[in-house]
Structure 1
Amino acid sequence: MDRWNGRVALVTGASMGIGAGFCEELVKHGMKVVACARTKSKLEALKEQLSGAKGELHPFVMDVSNDEQVLAAFEWAKTTLGGVDLCVANAGIAIGGTILDGKPSDWRSQLDVNLTGTLHCAKVAINGMLERGVNDGHVVLVGSALGYQVARHPQLHFYAITKHALRVSATALRRELLEKKSRIRVSNVSPGYVDTGFASRAMGIPDQAMQAKLKEISMEPLQVSDVIDALIHTISTPPRVEVHDLLFLPTDEDY
């Protein structure tokens, strides 16, 4: 991680859970982190929490589904900090509903965040690196284990579709970078069930009930720290190694 000291990262979905954990770890490693999310108060609280750390946290209110806000965030990072060297595209939403009973408006909302907005961030980050001659930059797309199979829960079928598309997109980006003879790396990091409450909110199940169900089936979920460990591994490899597609699961998960 030494090579990232003093460099600039932009993290989406940074106000809570996995995104906030990413920001905290990167700041502790000396990075200047532009933390992007929709809720200003949560970003400011995270900044206060990390005061005195080795690096810096810079809150920026941004919705990844808003094109102008995405461009503004990257422009601010370029003007103020010199430009983004690492982009962690973590923002994501899941709106529960089967395909047969679901609403197209809910599908579009998920696509806008999980795919279109995420790829927009990746595009702007990569093009900025290319313009600045940064040949060792990195883009991490935070996917899901549901990007590898059809979700067992029908309520998450369309969410899984968006994560399948994101995984394919990572390979598409990698091939485009290879055509440009660039060594900017692209990684799709996909955890299984993480204990953040994300899935229970999407399926409309109270967290207490979800925790009881996990206990019933004897499954110990992943923790945010496990996902952070995967991220650090992914961005710490030497230039000859690209962790392009990383899937990891709770040991007990029936996957």
Structure 2
Amino acid sequence: MDRWANKLAVVTGASAGIGAAIVKDLIKNNIRVIGLARRPEKIEEIRKELSDIQRNLLNSIKYETFKIMKENNIAGHIIFINSTLGHEVTKAPISFNIYSPTKFSITAMSISPGLVKTDIVPQEIINSKIPAINPEDIANAVCFALSTPPEVQISELTVEPHPAY
């Protein structure tokens, strides 16, 4: 992770769940972070915990990022947090509306978590005996992907809860 120290990371969905956990882990690894979120008040709450987060009012990052990086010879990673629901378009046991089809359309290096204890999951599911992982587990996967040497490319990483836990 040392090669990323003092580099800049842009994290979308940074106000809660997986995005917030990723922001905290990156900062712990001395990576500067711009957090993008639709709920800026939540970013403020995180900022109180971690003073290095910079709030940015942009709504999205376009895929032009790939082109800009290549044209300017900028080395780096763009990591999409996908979902195991995005590996094929199916009807999930709980309603996620168009969640699965939107994740299915992403075709880049991605980390696909199984069920994660976040705000998008109904509380009755989180409180049930269905195995689920924490947002911090996905943040660990992001740090793992970033810690590989430059000649290593992780194209897909699936992170699922172990049924015994």
> Structures share a fold, TM > 0.5?
yes
Cα distance in 1, alignment partners of residues 94 and 116 from structure 2: 19
| Residue aligning to 1:129 | 69
User: In the TM superposition, what is the alpha-carbon distance from 1:236 to its structure 2 partner?
Assistant: 1.1
Residue 58 of structure 2 corresponds to residue 58 of structure 1: no
Q: CA deviation at 1:132?
A: 2.6
Do 1:7 and 1:32's aligned partners in 2 also have CA atoms closer than 8 Å?
yes
Structure-1 residue corresponding to 2:157: 246
Q: Which runs of 5+ in 1 are unaligned?
A: 65-69, 71-119, 171-186, 201-206
Taking every aligned residue pair, what percent have the same amino acid on both sides?
Answer: 30
Bigger fraction of residues in helix: 1
AA aligned to 1:156 is F
Alpha-carbon distance between aligned partners in 2 of 1:154 and 1:147, rounded to the nearest angstrom: 14
State the partner residue of 2:77. Answer: 138
* Residue 159 (structure 1) shift: 1.8
> What CA distance in whole angstroms lies between the structure 2 residues aligned with 1:161 and 1:126?
23
Q: Please give the secondary structure, in 1, of the residue aligned with 2:66.
A: helix
Aligned partners of 2:135 and 2:95: how far apart in 1? 23
Q: Which moved more, 1:39-48 or 1:140-149?
A: 39-48
Mapped pair 1:152 → 2:92: yes
TM-score w.r.t. the length of structure 1 is: 0.59
What are the residue-to-residue correspondences of 1:70-85 with 2, within 5 Å?
Answer: 70=61
| More relative contact order, 1 or 2 (CA 8 Å, 6+ apart) | 2
Residues 171-194 of structure 1: CA distance to partner in whole angstroms, max 9, x if unpaired? xxxxxxxxxxxxxxxx21000000
Alignment of 1:228 with 2:139, yes or no, is yes
TM-score normalised to the size of structure 2?
Answer: 0.88
**What is the CA RMSD across the aligned residues, in angstroms?**
1.9
Partner in structure 2 of residue 24 of structure 1: 24
Equivalent residue runs for 1:153-168 within 5 Å: 153=93, 155-156=95-96, 158-166=98-106
The one-letter code of the counterpart of 1:241 is V
Confirm or deny that 1:211 pairs with 2:126.
yes
